[in-house]
């Protein structure tokens, strides 16, 4: 099977760029880091207060939506010299989790969720929470930098009291980076764009719409540029933003996504 054969692969994530670049390089591609997700900011004081409340036993359930958010809660507990107490507190609660990264982080802590999604999505998590929550319980809800109105509205519909915990948030990416990325897509410099989370396609398409470049960018994705998503949830956002041709792996892992890209180019070459 042919590999990436010197093709230029744009990586839009803000995290693990060195690791992802190495994967692309090892597959014979040229990595191009173009963060389209902005910077993650933490509010340590609020997070310490939230973790303290978790350890005080104020909640019956905790819903965890991202692996990095779960890890940040644990690291905050470590800063408070209360790592074991934090784990014990979660063990005494009912845990719901979205995404394999969240489940893997819980596994590292010796914990297992009672409820998890069936497809990596918030909708999948809500489906499996049906019948498990009522207004009599208190829920700690760890959100990520992207809003989760589906989950929050569902909790409201169940009349469930919930406290939102936001360990990090996304800000808009650098305008200069977005200008550079859009230009490289349009001039044919980039062969594939890798989307690793939902904010990335949203930010890219929002920017090109504001610049009056949406139709040109979409045309490039139809013809020359291959959109690659880390999993089907991110892929659906890419499609919703108007980029209809997108490939992705079933298991939502970056290594598997790159294998899918190699397979795609191998299929093109063999036609």
**pLDDT value for 266:** 86
**pLDDT value for 122:** 86
**Lowest mean pLDDT segment, chosen from 55-59, 142-146, 184-188:** 142-146
Alpha-carbon gap, residue 104 to 168, rounded angstroms? 19
**pLDDT value for 43:** 67
For β-strands 8-11 and 30-33, DSSP reports them as parallel
Alpha-carbon gap, residue 41 to 145, rounded angstroms? 9
**pLDDT value for 270:** 56
99: alpha, beta or left, given left = phi > 0 and alpha = psi -120 to 50? left
Q: What digits encode the pLDDT tens for the residues 37-90?
A: 876 766 677 899 999 999 999 999 999 998 989 999 999 999 999 999 999 999
Alpha-carbon gap, residue 11 to 184, rounded angstroms? 13
Report which of residues 50 and 2 the model is more confident about. 50
**Percentage of the chain lying above the pLDDT 70 cut:** 95
**Percentage of the chain lying above the pLDDT 90 cut:** 72
CB 218 within 8 A of CB 186: no
Q: What digits encode the pLDDT tens for the residues 203-245?
A: 999 999 999 999 999 999 999 999 999 988 889 899 999 999 9
Residue 106 pLDDT more than 90?
yes
Alpha-carbon gap, residue 62 to 216, rounded angstroms? 44
**pLDDT value for 163:** 93
Overall average pLDDT of the 94-113 stretch = 95
Per CATH, is 8-38+173-266 categorized as 3.40.50.10090?
yes
Give CA 225 to chain center in angstroms: 22
CB 89 within 8 A of CB 57: yes
Q: What digits encode the pLDDT tens for the residues 82-103?
A: 999 999 999 999 999 998 889 9
**pLDDT value for 258:** 92
Range 41-170: architecture per CATH: 3-Layer(aba) Sandwich (3.40)
92: exposed, middle or buried (C-beta count within 10 Å: 0-12, 13-18, 19+)?
exposed
The mean predicted confidence, pLDDT, of the chain is 91
**pLDDT value for 1:** 45
First to last CA, the chain: 13
Segments of the chain assigned to CATH 3.40.50.10090: 8-38+173-266, 41-170
Question: pLDDT band for position 265 (50/70/90)?
Answer: very high
pTM of the model: 0.76
């Amino acid at each position: 099977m042919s590999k990436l054969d010197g093709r230029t692969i744009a990586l839009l994530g803000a995290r693990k760029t060195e690791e992802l670049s190495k994967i692309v390089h090892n597959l014979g591609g040229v990595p191009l880091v173009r963060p389209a997700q902005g910077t993650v900011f933490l509010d340590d004081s609020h997070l310490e207060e939230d973790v303290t409340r978790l350890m005080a036993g104020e909640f019956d359930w905790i819903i965890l939506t991202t692996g990095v958010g779960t890890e940040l809660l644990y690291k905050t507990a470590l800063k408070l010299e209360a790592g074991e107490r934090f784990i014990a507190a979660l063990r005494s609660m009912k845990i719901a989790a979205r995404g394999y990264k969240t489940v893997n982080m819980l596994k590292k802590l010796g914990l297992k969720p009672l409820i998890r999604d069936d497809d990596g999505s918030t909708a999948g998590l809500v489906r499996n929470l049906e019948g498990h929550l009522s207004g009599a319980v208190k829920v700690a809800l760890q959100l990520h930098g992207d809003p989760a109105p589906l989950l929050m509205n569902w909790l409201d519909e169940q009349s469930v009291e919930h406290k939102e915990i936001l360990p990090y948030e996304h800000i808009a990416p650098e305008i200069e980076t977005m200008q550079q990325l859009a230009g490289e897509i349009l001039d044919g410099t980039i062969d594939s764009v890798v989307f690793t989370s939902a904010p990335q396609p949203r930010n890219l398409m929002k920017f090109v719409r504001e610049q009056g470049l949406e139709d040109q960018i979409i045309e490039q994705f139809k013809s020359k540029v291959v959109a690659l998503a880390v999993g089907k949830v991110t892929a659906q956002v890419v499609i919703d933003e108007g980029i209809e041709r997108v490939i992705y792996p079933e298991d939502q892992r970056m290594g598997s996504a790159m294998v899918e890209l190699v397979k795609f180019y191998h299929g093109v070459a063999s036609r």
